[in-house]
Each structure stands twice: as C-alpha cells, then as structure tokens.
Amino acid sequence: MNEPEKPKRGRPKTLDVDKTLDVAMQAYWREDPLSVSLNAICAMADVSKPALYREFGSEDALMRAVLDRYAESVLSGTFDVLAKGAPLAETLEAMIAYAADDPQMEPGCLFYKMRAARHRLGELTRSRVDEIDAAAVTAYEAYLETQRQSGHWRSDQPIDVVARYLVEQIGLALTQRAAGMDSGQIRASLELALSAVQRT
C-alpha cells in the first residue's frame, strides 16, 4: 500500500524519504521527541524545510510517520514474542531482558517517550499513540488468556488489569533506562514487579 505514485514529468525528487524518517526517528528516540525542532531535523537530514513540508505536511504528520515506522521496525518484534505463546515464566524473562538489558533500548523506547508526552502531541501522533497503547494491552490480554486456559497461569487476577499492569511496568523500566538508571537496579525492580504476576 501507499505506492509512491511517481509522476511522469516535472523536476525529479531529490528528497530521500527513508533517510529523512530514519534521521528524525533517531533524533526523536534519543532525546525527548518534543524538544527536537523541525529546524534541527532539517539540518541533520540535510533537507530544506519546504521540502519536508511538501513531503509530510506538518510536524504532527512527520511525527506520526516516524511513530509508524518505529512501530513497524522495532515494536513489532516485541509483539512477536507474545504471539509465540511461550510459557509465562519464559515470556516474562524475555520481557525483562528486553526492557532492562537490550542495548537497542538504552535510550529508552520512542513509543513510551511519546506516550509520556501525550498531551503535548499533535492530534495525528496522539491518536496513533493511543492506538498502539490499546493494541499492546490487547496483545497482552490475548497472551494471558492462552496461558490461563492452558493452565500455565493460575491466578484469579482479572486479565485486563494484569495486561495493563504489564504494559505499565515495561514502560516504567524503559523510562528508567532513558533516565540513565543503573541496569542492575532496573532488572531487579522489574523482576520484583513481574513476580507479583506469576504468584497467585
């Protein structure tokens, strides 16, 4: 979908959409998304501001596009872990390793950073954030459901509460990584938090 629709005539486009999105994603990811200005992105991506506006339309739309790319290239891997349907203990350990120790997540998670700044975002980006958040909870719910039915998870906790709990605890850990907290402390905290899910 979203074919380039290359025009038959006119001056050929020199703007590299992929490169621009990558540069913007790295910038948003490493710092607070909202403290990265369009001017800064233009300079880093070596793109003129009008060119950027021609391609995306607004800052909000650019951020949404970046978030989409991030969801597809980074977040999707996390969802796959849940979809595999491995036993609870194994899956939780995978989440812990991912959030606390994965070098890729050293600057934190772009999604959670944007979610934390939710009320300062534009409409487009904000609604995407909400969609991804809801999708994450749903994915956890589906996973927990399979674990409960297969007898791997014995707990009378309501599934929606635990799913939301997991999303928030992972988010907390990733936020702590962005803040530069010691990796050992993050892992210890996360293990403590997730231990409450396994036991009754």
Partner DNA sequence: GATTTAACGTACCAAGTGGTACGAATAAAA
Partner DNA sequence: TTTTATTCGTACCACTTGGTACGTTAAATC
Q: Which of a second copy, DNA, none does 50 bind, CB closer than 5 to 8 A by kind?
A: DNA
Cβ–Cβ contacts within 10 Å for residue 131, how many?
Answer: 12
**Which residues, 6 or more positions from 144, have their beta carbon under 8 angstroms from its beta carbon?**
153, 159, 162, 163
From the list 31, 53, 79, 141, which residue makes contact with DNA (rule: CB under 7 A)?
A: 53
Cβ–Cβ under 8 Å, residues 71 and 79 = no
Instruction: Identify what 195 binds: DNA, a second copy, none; CB under 5 to 8 Å per kind.
Output: a second copy
Q: Which of 2, 9, 72, 179 binds DNA (CB under 7 A)?
A: 9
The alpha carbon of residue 175 and the mean position of all alpha carbons in its chain are separated, in whole angstroms, by 12
Residue 116 touches a second copy, criterion: CB under 8 A? yes
| Piece of 20-28, 43-51, 97-105, 188-196 that binds a second copy (CB under 8 A) | 188-196
Q: Residue 187: what residue type?
A: R
Q: Write the Ramachandran bin of 171: left for phi over 0, alpha for psi from -120 to 50, otherwise beta.
A: alpha
Identify the H or E element spanning 139: helix 123-149
164 touches, from DNA, a second copy, none (C-beta below 5 to 8 Å by class) = a second copy
The entry of a second copy, DNA, none that residue 88 binds, CB within 5 to 8 Å by partner kind: none
Q: Tell me which of 26, 58, 146, 189 binds a second copy, using CB under 8 A.
A: 189
DSSP classification of residue 36 = S
Q: Does residue 47 belong to the site contacting DNA (CB under 7 A)?
A: yes
Q: Is 35 a residue that touches a second copy (CB under 8 A)?
A: yes
Using CA atoms in the order 33, 133, 121, 17, what is the torsion angle rounded to 10 degrees?
A: 60
Site for DNA in 178-197 (CB under 7 A): none
- Count the site residues for DNA by CB under 7 A: 24
Scanning the structure block, which residue is given the tokens 């992105």? 41
Dihedrals φ, ψ of 98, to 5°?
-65, -50
Residue 13 DSSP symbol? P
What residue ranges bind DNA (CB under 7 A)? 7-15, 37-40, 47-51, 53-55, 58-60
What residue ranges bind a second copy (CB under 8 A)? 32, 35, 116-120, 157-158, 161-162, 164-165, 168-169, 172, 175-176, 179, 185, 188-189, 192-193, 195-197, 199
